[in-house]
Amino acid sequence: MSLRVTVTHFQDLTPAAHVSTLKKMDVQLTPDQKAFVRQAIESGRLHREEEAVQEALTLWEERERTRAEILDAVDMAEASLARGEGRVITQESMHELAEQVKQRGRARLAAEQAPR
C-alpha cells in the first residue's frame, strides 16, 4: 500500500504572495502499518487510507506542540534557578510543606462547616 498525499507547498511566503502549488508525496508504510490501516477501514473507524495519514499528522502536531511547551517550561525553570529563585527541596522541607497544606485544608474545612 502506497498512499499518495497532497501537500500544499508555499513557494513564496511574502504577504503579497498568495499563490501555492500542490505537490504529491508518496508515503510508504511498513507491512504492520498497512495492516493496521486496513483493519481500521474494515472496522469502519476510517473510510480511506488518507484519513490514517491525516490523523497521524494531527497527533504528531499535538505531540510536538506539547513537547515545545514542556521545553519552554524547562527553559523558564532553568532561568529561574540561574536567577537564584529556586528552592532547595529536602525531606524536612517536604514535611513542612505537607503540614502547611494540611493546616490550610483544615482551616478551609472549618470555615465551610461553621454555622452561618
Neighbouring residues of 86: CB distance < 8 A, sequence distance ≥ 6: 80
Region of 42 on the Ramachandran plot (φ > 0 left; ψ -120 to 50 alpha; else beta): alpha
Instruction: Name the residue range of residue 45's domain.
Output: 2-113
Give the per-residue pLDDT at 87. 80
Task: Give the model confidence (pLDDT) of 94-106 as tens digits.
Answer: 999 999 999 999 9
Which grid cell sits at 28?
510508504
Q: How far is residue 71's CA from residue 53's CA, in Å, rounded to a whole number?
A: 26
Planar angle of CA 107, 109, 113, nearest 5 degrees: 115
Task: Give the model confidence (pLDDT) of 69-98 as tens digits.
Answer: 999 999 999 999 899 998 888 999 999 999
Q: How many domains does the chain have?
A: 1
DSSP the chain: -EEEEEEEEES--STT---EEEEEEEEEPPHHHHHHHHHHHHTTS-SSHHHHHHHHHHHHHHHHHHHHHHHHHHHHHHHHHHTT------HHHHHHHHHHHHHHHHHHHHHHHS--
What is the pTM (predicted TM-score) of this model? 0.55
Give the per-residue pLDDT at 104. 97
